[in-house]
Every structure is written in structure tokens, then in C-alpha cells.
């Protein structure tokens, strides 16, 4: 689907009356959620929209990092929903996709029924922290382009955020690595430069504006995002926080069926 000058890979699953737009994390793609969807109860009542975000999967890779900025990505989603004839949608966002889901929800609240955030944050509240993160992301983007995907993936999978994934089966780990390696160095680098946590605005002071149900989730081994979710829970009146046992940062990968059932029940109730 061509949106605002770039072609997005969009997959629609089902023909149900309830729409759910699912947004993946950095190095991922829309299809990452398919195993989790097997845990959905009453899946037939949903129409699931899976997209590959800019610079990821089979979506275009703009050469200008500014095209990846949060406000442009948010506008792309709005245009996409309009083109699909969707005026009311529930959103699911994981990590980077959670920041985009939150941006959309705050920009177009009249369109959002419910919001699910998995291991996500509203950005960094302090200007100094945003500056430091921007510097770190610029170095990481340079590392990706200079050292290549293989070296970057070895580094990326070794950071503490993903250590719990070492417990996954060899087959699952191989599938995750194969998917990540299908990305491009330019796409990942530009995603960091244009849409990284350091360059986006902080949404902390806007959370109180949210007036629809929100499910906040983090894995029991992901202390950083447990703290973030708990603080968000204090600021969003209609939110509920759940800590998922047996999981780290990527709950939908480490506990797909269990988490799928939890998300499905939240959306249905």
C-alpha cells in the first residue's frame, strides 16, 4: 500500500467486525505476531492489520532519516486506516511499536477503542536523557552501517534486554535470527536516527489525557520496563498493568499463546 510516497507491506488477517492494528519492535516485522494470534479466543471476530514499519521487512527504506520521524509514521498510520475504511481501531504496540501506538493514540484519540502496550515507554522525560540517548543511537546506527548486519545482530542479541531469549528452542532462535537478518543496514540505521527514543518527544505529560482502556504489560525479567509500566499505570486512569511470568522484554515471543489469550480477553471484555 503506497502511503505518503512510500510503499508499506500490509497484511490483513480475518474479516471480523473488530479491527486490531499491531505494531512490531525494532528489527522486527508484522508477521512476528502470528504465533501469538494463535492464543486469541474468538479470533474470527477480529480483522488483524499487520504492517512492516519503515525500514523493516518488506516496507520501503527511505534514504532520509527524517522520513522515519514519529510524526510522519503516525500520519502514515492515519492515512492507512483511512484508505482501509477504518474509523475505530484497537492498537497493539511492542517496544518501538508501542511508542508509535502511543503517538497515534494521543494524536487521534477519537479513533482508538483500546490500547495494548507490551514493553513500551512514552519516551524520555528529561532533555538531557534524550540528548544522551540520541548520541547513543547515532553511534549504534553508525555501527550497523560500518560493521554490517551479522556483527550488529551478534551485538544486539547479547544485550541484557534479550538475555531471556536464550531459553527459547534452537528452532525458534534460528527463526528469529533469520527474520532479523532479512532487514537492511540502511533501514535499521535510519529507523534509529529518525524514530529512536532520543529524537521523539516525551509523552509522559500527556498520559493523563487518555480516556480509553489501556493494558500495560512487561515480562517478569524486564525490570526496567516493569518500572516504566507501573509509572504509566499511575498516570492513565483506565489502565491495568500485568506482569507476565516466564518472559523478558519480548513477551509475544517468549510466552505467545498465554499472552495472546490475555490480550484477546482484554480486547473482548
pLDDT at 166: 85
Residue 178 φ then ψ, to 5°: -60, -45
For residue 200 the three cell numbers come to 521523539
Q: What is the pTM of this model?
A: 0.96
Q: Which residue has the cell 532520543?
A: 198
pLDDT at 86: 96
Computed over every residue of the chain, the mean pLDDT equals 95
3-state secondary structure of 225: helix
Confidence of residue 177 (pLDDT cuts 50, 70, 90): confident
Is the pLDDT confidence value at 183 over 90? yes
Are the C-beta atoms of residues 98 and 118 closer than 8 Å to each other? yes
Q: pLDDT tens digits for 238-254?
A: 999 999 999 999 999 99
Residue 149 vs residues 190, 199, 224, 238: alpha-carbon distances, Å: 14, 23, 27, 41
Q: Which helix (H) or strand (E) holds 218?
A: strand 214-219
pLDDT at 111: 98
Residues in a beta bridge with 215: 116, 240
pLDDT at 94: 98
pLDDT at 162: 87
pLDDT at 160: 82
Q: pLDDT tens digits for 6-29?
A: 999 999 999 999 999 999 999 999
pLDDT at 11: 97
Q: How far is CA 147 from the centre of its chain?
A: 25
* 238 Cβ neighbours under 8 A, 6+ residues apart: 210, 211, 212, 213, 214
pLDDT at 261: 96
**Portion of the chain with pLDDT greater than 90, in percent:** 88
Q: pLDDT tens digits for 31-86?
A: 999 999 999 988 889 999 999 999 999 999 999 999 999 999 999 999 999 999 99
Domains recognised in the chain with CATH numbers: 2-268 (3.40.50.1820)
Is the pLDDT confidence value at 165 over 90? no
Residue 243 φ then ψ, to 5°: -100, 125
* 110 Cβ neighbours under 8 A, 6+ residues apart: none
Strand 2-3 with 6-7, pairing = antiparallel
pLDDT at 157: 84
Is the pLDDT confidence value at 103 over 90? yes
Amino acid at each position: 500500500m503506497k502511503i505518503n510516497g512510500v510503499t508499506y507491506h500490509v497484511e490483513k488477517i480475518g474479516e471480523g467486525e473488530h479491527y486490531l492494528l499491531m505494531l512490531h519492535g525494532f528489527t522486527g516485522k508484522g508477521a512476528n505476531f502470528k504465533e501469538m494470534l494463535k492464543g486469541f479466543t474468538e479470533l474470527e471476530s477480529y480483522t488483524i492489520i499487520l504492517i512492516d514499519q519503515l525500514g523493516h521487512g518488506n516496507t520501503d527504506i527511505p534514504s532520509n532519516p527524517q522520513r522515519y520521524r514519529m510524526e510522519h509514521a503516525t500520519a502514515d498510520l492515519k492515512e492507512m486506516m483511512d484508505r482501509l475504511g477504518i474509523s475505530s481501531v484497537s492498537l497493539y504496540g511492542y517496544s518501538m511499536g508501542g511508542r508509535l501506538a502511543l503517538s497515534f493514540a494521543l494524536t487521534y484519540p477519537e479513533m482508538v477503542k483500546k490500547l495494548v502496550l507490551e514493553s513500551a515507554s512514552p519516551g524520555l522525560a528529561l532533555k538531557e536523557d534524550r540528548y544522551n540517548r540520541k548520541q547513543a543511537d547515532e553511534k549504534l546506527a553508525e555501527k550497523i552501517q560500518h560493521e554490517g548486519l551479522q556483527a550488529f545482530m551478534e551485538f544486539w542479541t547479547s544485550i541484557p534486554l534479550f538475555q531471556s531469549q536464550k531459553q527459547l528452542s534452537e528452532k525458534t532462535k534460528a527463526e528469529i535470527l533469520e527474520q532479523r537478518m532479512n532487514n537492511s543496514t540502511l533501514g535499521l540505521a535510519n529507523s534509529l536516527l529518525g524514530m529512536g527514543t532520543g529524537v521523539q518527544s516525551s509523552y509522559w505529560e500527556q498520559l493523563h489525557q487518555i480516556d480509553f482502556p489501556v493494558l500495560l504489560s512487561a515480562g517478569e525479567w524486564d525490570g526496567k520496563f516493569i518500572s516504566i509500566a507501573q509509572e504509566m499505570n499511575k498516570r492513565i486512569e483506565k489502565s491495568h498493568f500485568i506482569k507476565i511470568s516466564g518472559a523478558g522484554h519480548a513477551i509475544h515471543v517468549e510466552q505467545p499463546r498465554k499472552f495472546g489469550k490475555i490480550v484477546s480477553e482484554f480486547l473482548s471484555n
